[in-house]
Structure 1
Amino acid sequence: MSTTTILRGARPTGGDPVDLVLRDGVIAEILDEGTASHEGAAVVDATGLVALPGLVDLHTHLREPGREDAETIASGTRAAAAGGFTAVHAMANTTPVADTAGVVEQVWRIGRDAGWVDVHPVGAVSVGLDGTQLAELGAMADSAARVRVFSDDGKCVHDPILMRRALEYVKAFDGVVAQHAQEPRLTEGAQMNEGVVSAEIGLTGWPAVAEEAIIARDVLLAEHVGSRLHVCHLSTAGSVDLVRWAKKRGVDVTAEVTPHHLLLTDDLARDYDPTFKVNPPLRTAEDVEAVRAGLADGTIDIVATDHAPHTREDKDCEWAAAAFGMTGLETALSVVQATMVDTGRMNWADVARVLSAAPARIGRIDSGDRAQGRPLAVGEPANVVLVDPAATRVVDGAEQATASTNTPFRGRELPGRVVATFLRGRATVLDGSPVEVTA
């Protein structure tokens, strides 16, 4: 049965208002505003709303299997839809670890059945994330989940031999190794960014060079092997410089920055609130400025949330005992608007690039029957998010769709509001609220 939805007066990537006609999972027509025939169609009033391609997150922790007390695939993907996402990449540090074809297929099937977004499992680089033996990279790539992104995120692939072998292996199926850049010996016992604040409040510091040393090593390995490297959650000015240098040399490297590293600084640790404990740590104002500049000039390719939900018990405790991590799926677009759009550094077309097209391309999900990150054009999949850029909201973790409340933006007023999200033409969010769906 044919289904049609008209997005009346939407502004594709902030341009002139049009009528976007979604039919049978694709964008069927783009017409002058107010001219689309609404007979038999659902009509969404999108006056004043920016239409973007559905957002794609290359770095999400859904916790299932193993830590369903913090998040499930259903609750995490529901939060993703509420944040405007139509696809997420689920990191491998689950219990059991996603290091076999069986586990990644389980994650993929649960995500498909939940129906909120497309779930693309990330495969572990090493067995058990222990950094000693390569996981079943080829089997995961050939599985129903068609894994193309591999990462031990949460841990660094610190052994250069293992990292080289992984880079060589993934070339066979155009995969990418996404590295958590953290030299373990330089960060033993580290609690926050090493600097003035850590010295003043007495917490063990995490030096910027611990991130930068791994990035420097890995871009040289990627150049030597001729393989794709992706740098997870880049956070320092020196890291931006290294990626910029590598790209000028022609190294096939991409990089991401998180929303929290675009906005927050290590000054927030002064109250010892573990909400602000994250890996890598919040850095200095100078680092924040550097990553914003790197995102604006294309050195940093994408924004990825590193959504890391935790139970109240894992966060509501003293700083040293608290888990690293913050939620971010439902606030990512607002933070990007606040830090990059409203400051004049980027426009909405740039937002579509860093939050949709580029992450889909890096994850190799930008083609095929379930393609993501495609432009808003006739014949393209109807993955669309409608955003009200004039709206503001005060973040309340208890009101979010994620099962956890550890948002670093609680009590903060942020611009922008996701009004509606469509996954292949089917509404997953309307009027700002998730719509209960079946796959």
Structure 2
Amino acid sequence: MTSWLIKGANLLGRETVDVLIDDGTVREVGAIGARPGSRVVDADGQVLLPGLVDLHTHLREPGREDAETVASGSRAAALGGYTAVCAMANTDPVADTAGVVEQVYSLGQAAGYVDVQPIGAVTVGLAGQRLAELGAMASSAAKVRVFSDDGHCVSDARLMRRALEYVKAFDGVIAQHAQEPSLTAGAQLHEGAVAAKLGLTGWPAVAEEAIIARDALLAGHVGSRLHVCHVSTAGSVDILRWAKSSGWNVTAEVCPHHLLLTDALATTYDPVYKVNPPLRTQSDVDALRAGLAEGVIDIVATDHAPHTTEDKECEWAAAPPGMLGLETALGVVGETMVATGLIDWDGVAERMSRRPARIAGLDRHGHDPAPGVTANLTLVDPGAAWTVDPAALSGPSRNTPFRGITLSSKVTTTFFNGQPTVLEGALTEGSKR
């Protein structure tokens, strides 16, 4: 492996350091002189973070390789500063057996841009009828620790309790898509003034909040780990605050689009703004930002959901929900949370690297650069303003809701296992492991 010397980086936005990387590992941090044979990265003015970890990514393979593959999603992740992503189970076939999760894991290893950690389905076929092979997936080569029917809610309380009890045996976590189906049949947009004006069936906030409250109670009752996916309402923040104050092992995520965008964008009927859960109101956005800053919401996760142009560019009701997120997430968090003074760059590291790595059990990720740790690192230029252009994104899909928006920070370099997968903003094919 090539030895690398990062010069003049702003570590976590706090102090200027040099970092020597050798044989995939951080060897020294501090003031480091020239090292013969080491390649130098000039990081003057750039913030050095531990490599980002995404707990919620849709890579579509197997089954929908026209929208995304493990390889293309891995490249997008690296460009976004990620060194590990957790791949959701709603593939075709569903990742509900050891064989499918091992396939996804192997594809990630072959791509070599990031660690791809499969998430296993909670129920067979995401149908919500009977538990999937949780133990077999946990003991497989993929070592699955997070299970989710994302895209579908595990709405049966008895089945949810059984899942929470089952995963305790191997310190697993159930990641719930909080959506009471009986309250959201035919739902198209947040239930409120905009949906009423547009004539679209409303998706009420209580449909999310009721499931979070129920599952928090279940997790507390059985003493298990619950993670709540893509929190989107102010009421959900209040319920999470209550659950945490009760001492229950409940964590939650918010997506970048819910930190920036509102349902007012739907007045154009452009399906690029259709997502599940839907974009909410400005008061919800404000509560989500406050909850993330407070720590009631633990992490930022992208819910990166690529769709083909043919699937997404149609009438609103027929379009599938979902938005791209991997390449823009850090920029959106910088805009909504750092530039507003709600958190600093160390806070970004906590919410986009350390905590998600801990929740997912990814031991080689989420560590600040220090001698002896695996060199999974990200450099971001906090002053490199850029405008999101769908055509410039790396994957086959173009369904970004951030098109035309200018973000004030950008990833320049991503180190994965001690080698740059992204250097000065460009992928480095030769550095794949």
TM-score by structure 2 length?
Answer: 0.99
Give CA deviations for 1:90-148 in whole Å, capped at 9, x if unaligned.
00000000000000000000000100000000000000000001000000000000000
Q: Distance in 1 between matches of 2:21 and 2:181?
A: 49
Q: Which runs of 4+ in 1 moved over 6 A?
A: none
Provide Cα deviations, 1:147-204, integer angstroms capped at 9, x if missing partner: 0000000000000011000000000000000000000010000001000111111111
C-alpha separation between the residues in 2 aligned to 1:159 and 1:264? 31
State the secondary structure of the residue aligned to 1:66. coil
CA contact (8 A) 2:29 2:369 kept: no
> SS at the partner of 2:53?
strand
Contact 1:50 1:386 in 2 (8 A): yes
- Paired letter, 1:199: A
Q: Distance in 2 between matches of 1:428 and 1:63?
A: 22
- Counterpart CA distance in 1 for 2:152 and 2:408 is 33
1:328-367 correspondence to structure 2 within 5 Å:
328-365=325-362, 367=363
Secondary structure of the corresponding residue to residue 386 of structure 1: strand
- Tell me, in whole angstroms, the C-alpha distance in 2 between the residues paired with 1:337 and 1:324: 25
Q: Which amino acid aligns with 2:254?
A: V
Write the distance in 1 (CA, Å) between the matches of 2:313 and 2:195: 21
User: For residue 406 of structure 1, what is the amino acid of its counterpart?
Assistant: N
| Equivalent position to 2:221, from 214, 220, 224 | 224
AA aligned opposite 2:426: S
Structure 1 residue corresponding to 2:373, chosen from 377, 380, 390: 380
1:288-309: CA deviations, max 9, x gaps? 0000000000000000000000
Partner SS for 1:387? strand
Aligned-pair CA distance for 1:401: 1.1
Which residue of 1 is the match for residue 93 of structure 2? 96
| Count of residues in Structure 1 that have an aligned counterpart in Structure 2 | 432
Letter in 1 for 2:17: V
- What corresponds to 2:276 in structure 1? 279
Counterpart residue identity of residue 405, structure 1: R
Partner residue of 2:400? 407
- Give per-residue Cα distances to partners, 1:311-355, cap 9 Å, x unaligned: 001111010110100000000000000000000000000000000
Amino acid at match of 1:306: D
The aligned residue for residue 16 of structure 1 is: 15
Q: Provide the rounded CA distance (Å) in 1 between the counterparts of 2:418 and 2:390.
A: 29
In the alignment, the residues of structure 1 paired with residue 206 and residue 137 of structure 2 have an alpha-carbon distance, to the nearest angstrom, of 33
Equivalent residues of 2:150, 2:176 under 8 A apart: yes
Q: Confirm whether residue 393 of structure 1 aligns to residue 386 of structure 2.
A: yes
- Displacement of 1:3: 2.7
- 1:435 matched residue in structure 2: 428
> 2-side partners of 1:16 and 1:242: how far apart?
37
Distance in 1 (CA, whole Å) between partners of 2:262 and 2:146 is 29
SS in 2 for 1:36: coil
Higher mean C-alpha deviation, range 54-63 or range 423-432: 423-432
Helix, strand or coil: the match of 1:390?
coil
Q: 1:21 touches 1:36 (CA, 8 Å); kept in 2?
A: no
Question: Secondary structure at 2:407's aligned position in 1?
Answer: strand
Which of 65, 70, 74 does residue 68 from structure 1 map onto?
A: 65
Q: Which amino acid aligns with 2:393?
A: Q
Superposed CA RMSD in Å reads 0.7
Tell me if the contact between 1:76 and 1:403 (Cα under 8 Å) persists in the aligned partners.
no
Pair 1:238-2:235 in alignment: yes
TM-superposed CA distance for 1:36, in Å, is 2.4
Displacement of 1:424: 1.3
1:304 to 297, 301, 305: 301
Per the TM alignment, residue 402 of structure 1 is displaced from its structure 2 partner at its CA by: 2.0
Q: Distance in 2 between matches of 1:26 and 1:36?
A: 18
Report the counterpart of residue 3 of structure 1 in structure 2: 2
Q: SS state of the match for residue 384, structure 2?
A: strand
Summarize deviations over 1:381-427 as a string: whole Å, max 9, x none: 10111100011001011111122100000011111111100001111
Distance 2:189 2:422 in 1: 37
- Could you tell me how far apart the structure 1 residues matched to 2:325 and 2:60 are? 14
Question: Does the 8 A contact of 1:6 with 1:36 survive in 2?
Answer: no
Percent same amino acid at aligned positions? Answer: 66
On the 8 A contact 1:421/1:428 being kept in 2, the answer is yes
AA paired with 2:9?
A
Shift of 1:31: 2.2
1 CA distance for matches of 2:403 and 2:311?
A: 17
1:147 aligns with 2:144: yes
Cα distance between partner residues in 2 of 1:31 and 1:199: 58
Distance 1:393 1:30 in 2: 30
User: Does the CA contact (< 8 Å) of 1:387 and 1:420 recur in 2?
Assistant: yes
2: CA distance, partners of 1:8 / 1:45: 5
Amino acid of the structure 1 residue aligned with 2:310: E
Gaps of 5+ in 2: none
**3-state SS in 2 of match to 1:238:** helix
Q: Distance in 1 between matches of 2:108 and 2:302?
A: 18
| 1:82 is the counterpart of 2:79 | yes
Give distance in 1, aligned partners of 2:321 and 2:336.
23
After TM superposition, give the deviation of residue 16 of structure 1 in Å: 1.7
1:423 matched residue in structure 2: 416
SS of the equivalent of 1:197 reads: helix
Aligned to 1:264, which of 253, 261, 264?
261
Note if contact 2:120-2:146 (Cα within 8 Å) is conserved in structure 1.
yes
> Secondary structure of 2:161's match?
helix
Give the alignment partner of residue 122 of structure 2, picking from 106, 120, 125.
125
Measured against aligned partners, the alpha-carbon deviations of 1:15-64 in whole angstroms (never above 9, x if no partner) come to: 221111111111100122xx422311100110000000000000000000
